[in-house]
């Protein structure tokens, strides 16, 4: 009986008891004295029970444990229905709600930590890229070549992922490694020779021959994914080298050139290529930032199924921010002189960045991954950071070279 009462303690609360109802033994307190239970706690198993009365009257000495258990059993049998099942359900609901709140707090802290890490590394990358762009020459080209090599490695790993290999045959691993090296050499050849068309064509021919002569059964999917890798990861980034280092005409109207130290190149260091690269990079960053903020604030209509988080509202805000940044920087650097040219340059930068972003999103979606890699904490892989720059370099170089008379000076 005592055992049964012990397990029923959670359904009742102790009430005042008279010791006369328990025993009339002379060794116990007088029957006429009623024990008033005051605020004392007694633990039994995982239960925490509240008593009234002083502990001396309960006989909590060496033999007090037995008397305490008997008193608890009597109290437990007194009113077992004090707590209803509804209250029990409420307690369970509170427990679930508390657990959900703790999960929400933990998720919020994780997102805050991720945002801090993203901002920290983003500022570090932006500062490093700015220094590299200002340096130009072999410093800029070597940095582009290193980024191209890592990006090519990530691309061919995506091609070999389970999501893509389920529908096609990936190129052999040795071909992927050779293509990554070829892509990294393309910017260096571009700086040395000024153009890369013949080199790219020759490399594509030898890679195609290696695929066709491999053992087993060559597939067209291997050839197409490899050729696109050479074009996407190797050929397109070379236009940034042609823009930054190839357009060597001095930007005579910019005020930064006259104040630039002689030891760092003086006014001749500020070329059309340097100014165009700075404006283009800044416009792409502004496009991504404004599109993100606009999508968070006003985003309602999805842009495309390739990237569900992108919205038309965010895209429109990003376009406005990109064009505004291009116009403001064109007034600061005094290049290009025409307002219409500055707006067109900003529009091309935005169009190239969006198209590059969606292209990489399509590759990752087919591969079934969220990020192309884990090289940059909080940002993912190198392709996740440079996807907006892939097509923009070609568009910016073609615009300045073809449509701006005297390179916009």
Element (H, E) at 200: helix 197-212
Q: Which residues have a Cβ under 8 Å from the Cβ of 22 and sit 6 or more positions away?
A: 28, 70, 71, 74
Specify the pTM: 0.72
Q: Where are the domains of the chain?
A: 118-246, 249-408
What count of other Cβ atoms lies within 10 Å of the Cβ of residue 228? 14
What's the rounded Cα separation, in Å, for the pair 98 and 123? 38
Question: Predicted confidence band at 132 (pLDDT cuts at 50, 70, 90)?
Answer: very high
CA angle 202/208/213 to nearest 5° reads: 130
In DSSP terms, 42 is beta-bridged to 49
pLDDT at 283 over 50: yes
What's the rounded Cα separation, in Å, for the pair 153 and 49? 65
Element (H, E) at 121: helix 85-135
Mean pLDDT of all residues in 292-304: 91
What is the predicted pLDDT for the residue at 102? Answer: 63
pLDDT at 319 over 60: yes
What is the predicted pLDDT for the residue at 374? Answer: 77
337-386 pLDDT per residue, tens? 899 999 999 999 999 999 999 999 999 888 888 888 877 776 688 999 89
What is the predicted pLDDT for the residue at 126? Answer: 86
pLDDT at 254 over 90: no
CA angle 357/359/365 to nearest 5° reads: 100
64-86 pLDDT per residue, tens? 444 444 544 444 444 445 545 55
What is the predicted pLDDT for the residue at 96? Answer: 65
What is the predicted pLDDT for the residue at 252? Answer: 79
Mean pLDDT of all residues in 318-347: 94
Q: Could you tell me which of 371, 361, 373, 355 has the C-alpha nearest to residue 150?
A: 373
Q: How far is CA 108 from the centre of its chain?
A: 14
- Exposure string for 102-136, b = 16+ CB within 10 A, e = fewer: eeeeeeeeeeeeeeeeeeeeeeeeeeebeebbbbb
What is the predicted pLDDT for the residue at 145? Answer: 96
What is the predicted pLDDT for the residue at 54? Answer: 43
pLDDT at 390 over 50: yes
What's the rounded Cα separation, in Å, for the pair 366 and 364? 5
6-47 pLDDT per residue, tens? 334 444 444 444 434 444 444 444 444 434 444 444 444 444
pLDDT at 106 over 50: yes
């Amino acid at each position: 009986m005592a055992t049964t009462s012990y397990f029923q303690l959670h359904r009742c609360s102790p009430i005042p008891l008279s010791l006369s109802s328990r025993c009339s033994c002379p060794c116990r307190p007088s029957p006429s004295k009623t024990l008033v239970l005051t605020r004392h706690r007694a633990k039994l198993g995982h239960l925490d029970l509240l008593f009234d009365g002083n502990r001396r009257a309960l006989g909590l000495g060496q033999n007090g444990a037995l008397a305490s258990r008997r008193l608890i059993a009597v109290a437990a049998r007194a009113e077992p229905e004090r707590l209803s099942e509804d209250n029990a359900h409420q307690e369970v609901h509170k427990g679930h709600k508390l657990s959900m709140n703790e999960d929400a707090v933990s998720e919020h802290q994780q997102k805050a930590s991720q945002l801090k890490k993203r901002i920290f590394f983003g500022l570090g990358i932006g500062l490093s890229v700015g220094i590299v762009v200002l340096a130009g020459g072999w410093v800029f080209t070597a940095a582009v070549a290193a980024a191209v090599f890592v990006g090519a490695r990530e691309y061919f790993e995506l091609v070999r992922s389970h999501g893509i290999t389920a529908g096609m045959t990936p190129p052999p691993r040795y071909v992927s490694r050779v293509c990554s090296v070829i892509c990294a050499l393309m910017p260096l050849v571009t700086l040395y020779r000024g153009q890369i068309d013949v080199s790219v064509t020759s490399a594509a021919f030898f890679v195609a021959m290696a695929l066709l002569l491999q053992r087993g059964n060559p597939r067209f999917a291997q050839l197409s994914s490899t050729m696109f890798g050479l074009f996407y990861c190797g050929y397109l980034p070379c236009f940034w080298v042609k823009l930054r280092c190839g357009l060597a005409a001095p930007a005579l109207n910019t005020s930064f050139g006259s104040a630039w130290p002689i030891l760092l190149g003086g006014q001749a260091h500020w070329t059309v290529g340097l100014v165009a690269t700075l404006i283009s990079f800044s416009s792409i960053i502004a496009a991504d930032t404004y599109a993100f903020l606009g999508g968070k604030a006003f985003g309602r209509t999805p842009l495309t199924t390739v990237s569900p988080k992108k919205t038309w509202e965010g895209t429109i805000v990003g376009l406005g921010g990109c064009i505004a940044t291009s116009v403001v920087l064109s007034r600061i650097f005094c290049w290009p002189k025409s307002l219409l040219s500055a707006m067109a340059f900003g529009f091309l930068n935005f169009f190239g960045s969006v198209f590059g972003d969606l292209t990489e999103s399509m590759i990752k979606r087919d591969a079934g991954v969220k990020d192309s890699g884990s090289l940059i904490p909080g940002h993912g892989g190198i392709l996740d950071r440079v996807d907006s720059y892939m097509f923009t370099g070609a568009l910016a170089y073609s615009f300045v070279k073809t449509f701006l008379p005297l390179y916009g000076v």
